């Protein structure tokens, strides 16, 4: 049977998994969303007239950047117990990843087994849904039904530095809502991300790092991601215990460039590599969402390569796995993997460079 998230407002525990220094945790370990006691509705596809076009963060126009800052600022201004608040959005990640929920509603019920949406085939669909609602909430906060998220385009050399708008602590004398104090200062200053970061700095030239990164993208999308399970990750169904990142069945992008960027951005001097270096705290860094928007785009690019074998899972345990989120109207909605496969239906897409969509295509390592 598929993994089925419980009513998130009534069944939730404090996070613990993966936090080794619980006493020193710099973010709250209470990952439960506000409990409004609402009933869970079924998801309906959006009826928007326009498609939200997600844009490369390093190429944002002043208007795009200002709007994005204003939306994140509005989110930060909400009280923490609002389901759309910055903290509530961050806690979603913690709850689904650090043991907030059990599989009580999955199959015949497994109240002693936690839900962990990482390290398995739930990774891509869960994060796609997470960002879907996050984007619509931000748009609603600034009254812009066309609002679209930026993505950190680390698969193209010009996009490999951490995007400018995330770096300064203040903008025009006011706190920058895209800044986060818990980042690796050395990495942020040196700027070019290492998509194969394993905890040790390589100390190579920027040019070499860029070429390495292109090879890493090729590795994750082509060489190691040749079929459904190697790209999406191993089967994970009701009754299965969570697996960790060392498991060989973790999908190619998830275990590769995705995790490397988390570790590279997180502060190695914090007890749990906060914020980006731990599931429980990652959602508190605005960089998390631009990183995952690009990870989501990798799913689309992988499919667009048109290589035989590059198809989504068709197993009913994948199609019918489900999660519960607050939507932009503060309603609780249950969503299924099968409904997130078509970007057309979800009314968002990605702006691509028409000349060179796959700059790493020839970067066979
Ligand atoms: Cu949910 Cu990048 O982890």
- Helix or strand (DSSP H, E) at 217: helix 206-218
Dump the DSSP string for 148-169: --EE--TTSGGG-BPPGGGS-S
What is the pLDDT at residue 38?
77
Residues whose CB falls within 8 Å of the CB of residue 81, separated by 6 or more in sequence, listed in order = 34, 88
What is the pLDDT at residue 52?
98
Residue 111 lies in a domain: yes
What is the pLDDT at residue 360?
87
Q: Report the separation in Å between the CA atom of 73 and the middle of ligand 1, taken as the mean of its atom positions.
A: 22
What is the pLDDT at residue 353?
85
What is the pLDDT at residue 355?
75
Q: pLDDT tens-digit profile of 216-227?
A: 999 999 999 999
Range of the domain at 112: 22-350
Q: Which two tokens stand for residue 196?
A: 């194969």
Cα-based angle 30, 32, 37 (whole degrees, multiple of 5)? 145
What is the pLDDT at residue 190?
80
From 58, 93, 187, 291, active-site residue: 93
What is the pLDDT at residue 290?
98
82 is catalytic: no
What is the pLDDT at residue 248?
85
Cα dihedral sign, 110-112-117-119: negative
Q: Report the separation in Å between the CA atom of 49 and the middle of ligand 1, taken as the mean of its atom positions.
A: 30
Candidates 83, 155, 134, 149; CA nearest to 126 is 134
Between CA 86 and CA 166 the distance in angstroms is 16
What is the three-class DSSP state of 257? helix
Q: pLDDT tens-digit profile of 104-117?
A: 999 999 999 999 99
292 is catalytic: yes
Q: What is the CATH number of the domain that holds 335?
A: 1.10.1280.10
124 is catalytic: no
What is the pLDDT at residue 356?
74
Residue 37 lies in a domain: yes
Residue 362 lies in a domain: no
What is the pLDDT at residue 111?
93
Question: Distance from first CA to last CA of the chain, Å, rounded?
Answer: 39
Between CA 329 and CA 362 the distance in angstroms is 45
Ligand 1-lining residues (CB < 6 angstroms):
93, 97, 118, 127, 258, 262, 282, 292
Residue 365 lies in a domain: no
Between CA 3 and CA 313 the distance in angstroms is 15
| Chunked mean pLDDT (size 10), the chain, 365 residues | 92 85 89 85 96 98 98 98 97 94 93 95 98 98 98 97 96 97 94 95 95 96 97 96 87 98 97 96 98 98 95 98 97 97 98 82 77
Q: What is the ipTM of this complex?
A: 0.99
| Max Cα distance, the chain (Å) | 56
Kindly report the number of other CB atoms within 10 A of residue 158's CB atom.
Answer: 12
Residue 5 lies in a domain: no
In the numeric block, the tokens 């844009």 are attached to 55
Q: pLDDT tens-digit profile of 150-182?
A: 999 999 999 999 999 999 999 999 999 999 999
Residue 8 lies in a domain: no
Residue 179 lies in a domain: yes
- Count: domains in the chain: 1
Ligand 1 atom 3: residue of nearest CA: 279
Candidates 42, 86, 302; CA nearest to 175 is 86
In this structure, what DSSP letter does residue 322 have? E
Q: Report the separation in Å between the CA atom of 173 and the middle of ligand 1, taken as the mean of its atom positions.
A: 32
What is the pLDDT at residue 132?
98
310 is catalytic: no
Residue 355 lies in a domain: no
């Amino acid at each position: 049977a598929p993994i089925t998230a419980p009513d998130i407002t009534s069944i939730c525990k404090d996070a613990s998994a993966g936090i080794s220094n619980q006493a020193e945790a710099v973010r709250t370990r209470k990952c439960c969303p506000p409990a409004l006691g609402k009933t869970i509705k079924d998801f309906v596809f959006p009826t928007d007239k326009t498609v939200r076009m997600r844009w490369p963060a390093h190429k944002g126009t002043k208007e795009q950047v200002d709007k994005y800052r204003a939306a994140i600022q509005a989110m930060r201004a909400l009280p923490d117990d609002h389901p759309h608040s910055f903290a509530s959005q961050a806690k979603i990640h913690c709850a689904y990843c650090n043991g907030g929920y059990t599989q009580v509603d999955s199959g015949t019920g497994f109240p002693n087994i936690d839900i962990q949406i990482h390290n398995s085939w739930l990774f891509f669909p869960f994060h796609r849904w997470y960002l879907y609602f996050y984007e619509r909430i931000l748009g609603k906060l600034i009254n812009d039904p066309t609002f679209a998220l930026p993505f950190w385009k680390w698969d193209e050399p010009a996009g490999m530095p951490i995007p400018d708008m995330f770096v300064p602590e203040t903008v025009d004398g006011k706190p920058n809502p895209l800044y986060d104090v818990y980042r690796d200062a050395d990495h942020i200053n040196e700027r070019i991300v290492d998509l194969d970061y394993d905890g040790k700095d390589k100390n190579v030239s920027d040019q070499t790092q860029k070429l390495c990164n292109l090879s890493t993208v090729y590795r994750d999308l082509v060489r190691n991601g040749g079929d459904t399970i190697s790209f999406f990750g191993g089967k994970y169904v009701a009754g299965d215990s969570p697996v960790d990142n060392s498991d060989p069945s973790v999908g190619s992008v998830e275990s590769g460039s995705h995790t490397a960027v988390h570790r590279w951005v997180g502060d190695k001097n914090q007890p749990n590599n906060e914020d980006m270096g731990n599931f429980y705290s990652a959602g508190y860094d605005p960089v998390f969402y631009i990183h995952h928007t690009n990870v989501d785009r990798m799913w689309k690019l992988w499919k667009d390569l048109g290589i035989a074998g590059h198809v989504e899972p068709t197993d009913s345990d994948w199609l019918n796995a489900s999660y519960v989120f607050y939507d932009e109207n503060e309603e609780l909605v249950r969503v299924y993997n099968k409904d997130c496969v078509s970007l057309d239906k979800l009314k968002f897409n990605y702006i691509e460079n028409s000349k060179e969509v796959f700059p790493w295509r020839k970067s066979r390592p």
